[in-house]
A and B are shown apart, each in its own frame.
Chain A
Amino acid sequence: MTADSKRFLHPEAIRRIGRLELRARHIVEGLLSGMHRSPYFGQSVEFLQHRQYAPGDDLRHVDWKVWAKQDRLYVKQFEEDTNMRCTLLVDVSASMQYGSGPLNKYEYAATVATSLAYLLLKQHDTVSCIAFDEAIRARTPMRSTQKHLKSIVTSLDASDPQNKTDTGAILREVAEFSPRRGMVTVVSDLLGDVESTLRGLRLLRQRGHDVLVLHVMDDDELEFPFEGPTKFEGLELPQHLTCNPRALREGYLAALERFLTTLRRGCARDAIDYKLIRTSEPLDAALAAFLCRRGAGARMH
């Protein structure tokens, strides 16, 4: 990806685009235009077209006959014939409302989820989206039509971010009611009972799902840069704490590190892809993680 294309994926640039669908299109097209290798033309029996070989293309797709005739390298492209089923789990709880940059965690997560949905629908994959906090707040059916994007956006937008999170319970519920295997992408800050969350993720894996965790955190949460007397009021919890943040910083970062380590180790143990994403980072990180995971999943299947 070039630096120019990355510039357009920066949260500040994304923020200027009001509608979530447009954001998703902007992100996905921007991302794809910077990639040498076509990300979403997959395996199929129905030939679509030839394209001139570009460095990075899989040599398996090179049409050797054409090469033999014309002494030029062409790759064959086929109509995608997908069987991908992807469930997007987006955290819309109150804790996701925190943000110190252009986008808060909720906005960032929703943008990521919409972008993924756009990408998947463009490949004619079937996508479902679940917005949750301590319970499932909105749910869209598993569809592959382009119109489905709008209903996904509606489900994310209609969510009321006032409640606490219970990610573990939601994951278990999703595992129970998703009989067909597919890919489950969790976009959340995962604040809450980490063991419960890990148990939910493990259950998804046990049910044969590919699981990708996009852990969205704000810079402030990761660095805790506050100074001066500050009163912290809990977004989900009723507690508040008045303190000198510098004095608590060390202890806070230690607790956070323990939390992240637990998450990383738990995910690694269960072969769950885990990606920590800062809301200040360009959104391609999330998409790249997804594409990487999808590529791996396709090879696996």
Chain B
Amino acid sequence: MTFLFQSLLTLGLPLIALPLLIHLINLRRHRRVEWAAMDFLLESQKRNKKWIFLRQLLLMLLRTAAIALVVFMLAGPVLQFQWGRLFGKGTTHHLVLLDDSYSMSDRWDRSTAFGEAKRVVGQLLEQASQQPGDQKLTLLRFSQADEFTVGAEGEGMEQSLDRQSYEEIVAKLNKRVVAESDAGPMAAIQAALGLPEPTDAETRIVYLISDFRQEQWQNNSEIGELLSQLRDQANQLQLIQCVDQTRPNLAITNLEPESGIRAAGVETWMQLTVANYGEETATAVTATITQDGHKLPAVQIEKIAPGDSVTRRFRVTFASAGAHQLQATLSSTFQKQGQGQGQKQGDAIEIDNTRYFACTIPPEFPVLLIDGSREGDDGYYLQTALNPGGSSKPGWNPEIQRPEFLRQHDQLDRYAAICLLDVPRLDESEVEALENYVEQGGGLGIFLGPRVQKPFYNERLFRDGEGRDGEGLMPVPLGVPTQLLATRESNRPDIEVSDHPLFRIFAGQRNSFLAVAAVNFYYAVDASWQLPESGKTSVLARLRNGAPYVVDKQFGEGHVVVQLSKLSPKSTDLGSWGNWSLNPVFPVYANELVGYLSASRRQFEQREVGSELVIKFSEADYEPEAEIRMPRSKGSRTMTVTPQVDEGQYLVDAGRSDVSGIWEFELRPREGNIEQRLLAVNVPLGEGDLHHLDREGLAQQLQGVDYEFTLSSQMTTEGSSFAGFRLGDTFLYLLLATLVVEQWLAYATSYHSRPAKNA
């Protein structure tokens, strides 16, 4: 048995002599009475002498015991597993599973959840280091659980614990900060289960120190099963919670281009999403935007309801080709609804207040236009719309090719998007090449025309029920070319658009340019066709008679957008199909269409903390050397690595990203200047949701698991006694029992004063 407050024991133990001292003092403090009837008194004394002595002795012993019990109780007795040691079980193994995910950076007053956790671990280690017998510690952080290997001599792995090692471990622990990961308890528990089972000579105590967030713990029966297994291996299982309430937290959950990036000098719409994980509405939320180190106008969000997310758009132009970066940061304070100006609410977690975006901007994006029209006029109109020439910088480089070009399968990947313009038909390999291209994120635009062979489109491209995954590239089966008849509603435009980014140019306007768009002929959709329930196909624009005009379909990771009419306004055998390509807003539409189609290819990468950072570059074009610069916010550490060679390409592996920010890779081309590539690494989403399970919630979740639950805040006052059985309560009960017996004996021995007699 050890004591938490040894000094209290040292000071208090001499007090057990107090009853004897009082007895001796009382012997000298007696009252003196001159007494006549001494004979009776002496007779009584003679008869009761032995009993009186025995009872007085017992009473003094009880009083001494009571004082000793009070001292022991206050000194915080902890019963070690001495029985085990008596029989040769000499080792106590403290297995600490420490949650260091970034939700543990939850801050309040002058403390954080992780700070609390470190304090608890320190307290535990201090106590363990003072215990007799062998003490071992395994400290397993959630974020390192994936890399945990049994028998490795890493930090905190089955270290022997004594006073010196305790100080070293605590010093290291105090320097540690939360990881920027969302590592949950599962990996850590599984790693703990991977440890060798304790022998008879070992007493194992498992401490799980976490914030017990709902997202990871609720409705997760697997945790209960794993903890149950862990409990079977250990002698004790202690769950220690470091937070006691849910604090407000905002997080940026998205920072991406709205519809793909644009070429250098072209304006790009970015979208920023902020989530409110708190329980009160946040108002006047401000996000500052930094582009390549220069501040842009801040994005303001008036109000975010609890549990809701709000998205805002803002424009960015990357002036030059090359690597660029964006950073959005929320202010660390915001107003709660109902608060006055100047009253700010602190944000619990800072790590998720910043989000990064990086991309490599090309000078322009090549777009492949496969023109199958007889005169090649379709290609002309689209090419002109995408790149009118002159001083304008649309960022597209349209390239007109004949359908045979599609046979060069390996060439397709370099195009941001492909458009089929009145292409009569394709052979099977061309269809397959296109399907592969779209499936891997490419965008395909299809404009119909009189040369289109309807059976081919229906059988080979629509392929209802026969294609990959039961469907083909075409979203709709084609009927016959149909004339859009005039109606009496002269004011009604021929084309009615939906709320889609493609037609955002018309949003908020009074359809001034849409009204002049005329459609004469179009391919009616087969009457039997109905909009699929899968949600992958949507009609973006309809004609005034309700017939689909522009239809979008998701195919694999890419999109196919079909315009069921001819692009060129020139006259055909049927006459002119329409004047849409002559409309003043057609160039905008064409740009949006190609941008939308190319967006699926995601010319940028978003990584999460914990992902492997590997880049590839050509062996022929680059020197075998790369320099990696870690995010500036984390000290900007630079590493020079020699890449591995794999099938003609160099592989640079920066390892697992453990911090968020912009990682810079500097490559040395064999010709030309140093090339920079950027990778944006962001914290995982969802970890900022600070709702946690309380004691009852955990009890419900972990039914059948034998554990002890403690709030870290309570351990401040109670003192810690994890590594053994707390005897404080036992001593209290013993004290009460002793006092009861003492009182009874004192009463029986007539030491109690009598109540005053009534007059």
CB contact between A98 and one of B30, B36, B749, B754 (< 8 Å): that residue: B36
Q: Which of A32-40, A251-259, A270-278 contacts the other chain?
A: A251-259
Q: Which of B8-48 contact A (CB under 8 A)?
A: 26-27, 29-45, 47-48
Q: Are the CB atoms of A233 and B30 closer together than 8 Å?
A: no
B750 part of interface (Cβ distance < 8 Å): yes
A292 part of interface (Cβ distance < 8 Å): no
Cα A218 to Cα B37 in complex, Å, equals 10
B57 part of interface (Cβ distance < 8 Å): no
Q: Kindly list chain B residues whose C-beta atoms are within 8 Å of the C-beta of A105.
A: 36
Q: Are the CB atoms of A241 and B42 closer together than 8 Å?
A: yes
Q: Kindly list chain B residues whose C-beta atoms are within 8 Å of the C-beta of A242.
A: 27, 30
Q: Kindly list chain B residues whose C-beta atoms are within 8 Å of the C-beta of A234.
A: 34-36, 38
Q: Kindly list chain A residues whose C-beta atoms are within 8 Å of the C-beta of B641.
A: none
Cα A96 to Cα B26 in complex, Å, equals 30
Q: Kindly list chain A residues whose C-beta atoms are within 8 Å of the C-beta of B750.
A: 244, 246-247, 249
Known contacts A246-B750, A248-B45: does B40 contact A232 (CB below 8 Å)? no
Q: Kindly list chain B residues whose C-beta atoms are within 8 Å of the C-beta of A191.
A: 36-37, 39
Q: Are the CB atoms of B45 and A235 closer together than 8 Å?
A: no
Q: Are the CB atoms of B26 and A247 closer together than 8 Å?
A: no
B674 part of interface (Cβ distance < 8 Å): no
Q: Are the CB atoms of B45 and A241 closer together than 8 Å?
A: yes
Cα A218 to Cα B33 in complex, Å, equals 14
| Chain B: CB-nearest residue to A234 | B38
Cα A278 to Cα B267 in complex, Å, equals 121
Q: Are the CB atoms of B40 and A226 closer together than 8 Å?
A: no
Known contacts A231-B33, A232-B33, A247-B749: does B27 contact A252 (CB below 8 Å)? no
Q: Which of B47-79 contact A (CB under 8 A)?
A: 47-48, 52, 55-56
Q: Are the CB atoms of B36 and A252 closer together than 8 Å?
A: no
Q: Are the CB atoms of B35 and A229 closer together than 8 Å?
A: no
Known contacts A244-B750, A249-B750: does B30 contact A239 (CB below 8 Å)? no
Q: Are the CB atoms of A256 and B31 closer together than 8 Å?
A: no
| Chain A: CB-nearest residue to B749 | A247
A17 part of interface (Cβ distance < 8 Å): no
B528 part of interface (Cβ distance < 8 Å): no
CB contact between B41 and one of A218, A228, A241, A244 (< 8 Å): that residue: A241
Main secondary structure on A side of the interface with B: mixed
Chain A proximity of B754: nearest CB distance (Å): 7
Q: How large is the interface on A (under 10, 10 to 19, 20 to 34, 35 or more residues)?
A: 35 or more
Q: How large is the interface on B (under 10, 10 to 19, 20 to 34, 35 or more residues)?
A: 20 to 34
| Chain A: CB-nearest residue to B752 | A246
Cα A239 to Cα B48 in complex, Å, equals 18
| Chain B: CB-nearest residue to A218 | B36
Q: Kindly list chain B residues whose C-beta atoms are within 8 Å of the C-beta of A226.
A: 31, 33
A81 part of interface (Cβ distance < 8 Å): no
Q: Which of A210-249 contact B (CB under 8 A)?
A: 218, 221, 226-237, 239, 241-244, 246-249
Cα A255 to Cα B55 in complex, Å, equals 22
Q: Kindly list chain A residues whose C-beta atoms are within 8 Å of the C-beta of B39.
A: 191, 237, 255
Chain B proximity of A242: nearest CB distance (Å): 6
Cα A250 to Cα B43 in complex, Å, equals 11
CB contact between A233 and one of B35, B44, B52 (< 8 Å): that residue: B35
Q: Kindly list chain A residues whose C-beta atoms are within 8 Å of the C-beta of B35.
A: 98, 232-235
Q: Are the CB atoms of B38 and A231 closer together than 8 Å?
A: no
Q: Kindly list chain B residues whose C-beta atoms are within 8 Å of the C-beta of A256.
A: 37, 40
Q: Kindly list chain A residues whose C-beta atoms are within 8 Å of the C-beta of B56.
A: 244
B673 part of interface (Cβ distance < 8 Å): no
Known contacts A227-B753, A247-B52, A248-B48: does B33 contact A239 (CB below 8 Å)? no
Q: Kindly list chain A residues whose C-beta atoms are within 8 Å of the C-beta of B32.
A: 230-231, 233
A166 part of interface (Cβ distance < 8 Å): no
Known contacts A237-B38, A239-B38, A247-B52: does B754 contact A227 (CB below 8 Å)? yes
Known contacts A235-B35, A247-B48: does B754 contact A255 (CB below 8 Å)? no
Q: Kindly list chain B residues whose C-beta atoms are within 8 Å of the C-beta of A235.
A: 34-36, 38
Q: Are the CB atoms of B44 and A252 closer together than 8 Å?
A: yes
Q: Which of A175-220 contact B (CB under 8 A)?
A: 189, 191, 218
Cα A48 to Cα B41 in complex, Å, equals 57
Chain B proximity of A259: nearest CB distance (Å): 7
Cα A77 to Cα B20 in complex, Å, equals 76
Q: Are the CB atoms of A229 and B31 closer together than 8 Å?
A: yes
Q: Kindly list chain B residues whose C-beta atoms are within 8 Å of the C-beta of A189.
A: 36
Q: Kindly list chain B residues whose C-beta atoms are within 8 Å of the C-beta of A97.
A: 34, 36
A95 part of interface (Cβ distance < 8 Å): yes
What does the 1/0 interface line of A80-114 toward B look like (CB < 8 Å)? 00000000000000111110000001000000000
Known contacts A229-B30, A229-B31: does B36 contact A255 (CB below 8 Å)? no
| Chain B: CB-nearest residue to A251 | B44
Q: Are the CB atoms of A243 and B34 closer together than 8 Å?
A: no
Q: Are the CB atoms of A241 and B38 closer together than 8 Å?
A: yes
Q: Are the CB atoms of A230 and B40 closer together than 8 Å?
A: no
CB contact between B40 and one of A94, A95, A239, A259 (< 8 Å): that residue: A259
| Chain B: CB-nearest residue to A229 | B30
Q: Are the CB atoms of A95 and B36 closer together than 8 Å?
A: yes
| Chain B: CB-nearest residue to A246 | B750
Cα A249 to Cα B749 in complex, Å, equals 11
Q: Which of B735-757 contact A (CB under 8 A)?
A: 749-751, 753-754
Cα A252 to Cα B749 in complex, Å, equals 15
Q: Kindly list chain B residues whose C-beta atoms are within 8 Å of the C-beta of A243.
A: 41, 45, 52
Q: Kindly list chain B residues whose C-beta atoms are within 8 Å of the C-beta of A98.
A: 34-36
CB contact between A252 and one of B26, B40, B751, B753 (< 8 Å): that residue: B40
Cα A266 to Cα B2 in complex, Å, equals 71
Q: Are the CB atoms of A231 and B31 closer together than 8 Å?
A: yes
Q: Kindly list chain A residues whose C-beta atoms are within 8 Å of the C-beta of B29.
A: 229
Cα A96 to Cα B34 in complex, Å, equals 11
Q: Which of A58-76 contact B (CB under 8 A)?
A: none
Chain A proximity of B758: nearest CB distance (Å): 14
Q: Are the CB atoms of A230 and B33 closer together than 8 Å?
A: yes
| Chain A: CB-nearest residue to B40 | A255
Q: Which of B303-360 contact A (CB under 8 A)?
A: none
| Centre residue among B30, B41, B751 by max chain A CB count within 10 A | B41
Cα A93 to Cα B701 in complex, Å, equals 90
| Centre residue among A97, A189, A243, A248 by max chain B CB count within 10 A | A248
| Centre residue among B31, B36, B754 by max chain A CB count within 10 A | B36
CB contact between A255 and one of B44, B749, B753 (< 8 Å): that residue: B44
Q: Are the CB atoms of B31 and A250 closer together than 8 Å?
A: no
Cα A195 to Cα B26 in complex, Å, equals 39
Chain A proximity of B103: nearest CB distance (Å): 67
| Chain B: CB-nearest residue to A95 | B36
Cα A247 to Cα B32 in complex, Å, equals 17
Q: Are the CB atoms of A251 and B751 closer together than 8 Å?
A: no
Q: Are the CB atoms of B40 and A229 closer together than 8 Å?
A: no
Q: Are the CB atoms of B41 and A248 closer together than 8 Å?
A: yes
Q: Are the CB atoms of B45 and A251 closer together than 8 Å?
A: yes
Cα A251 to Cα B751 in complex, Å, equals 16
Cα A233 to Cα B34 in complex, Å, equals 5
Cα A246 to Cα B44 in complex, Å, equals 11
Cα A232 to Cα B42 in complex, Å, equals 10
Cα A234 to Cα B55 in complex, Å, equals 26
Chain B proximity of A4: nearest CB distance (Å): 21
CB contact between B31 and one of A218, A230, A252, A255 (< 8 Å): that residue: A230
Q: Kindly list chain B residues whose C-beta atoms are within 8 Å of the C-beta of A249.
A: 44, 750
What does the 1/0 interface line of A39-60 toward B look like (CB < 8 Å)? 0000000000000000000000
12 CB contacts below 8 A, A to B, read A97-B36, A191-B36, A229-B31, A232-B33, A233-B34, A235-B38, A237-B38, A241-B38, A244-B749, A255-B39, A255-B40, A256-B37
New A-B contacts (12) at CB < 8 Å, excluding given A191-B37, A247-B750: A95-B37, A96-B36, A97-B36, A228-B31, A230-B30, A234-B34, A239-B42, A243-B41, A246-B750, A248-B41, A251-B45, A259-B40
Closest 5 CB pairs of A and B: A251-B44, A246-B750, A229-B30, A95-B36, A255-B40
List the interface of chain A (C-beta within 8 A of B): 94-98, 105, 189, 191, 218, 221, 226-237, 239, 241-244, 246-252, 254-256, 259
List the interface of chain B (C-beta within 8 A of A): 26-27, 29-45, 47-48, 52, 55-56, 749-751, 753-754
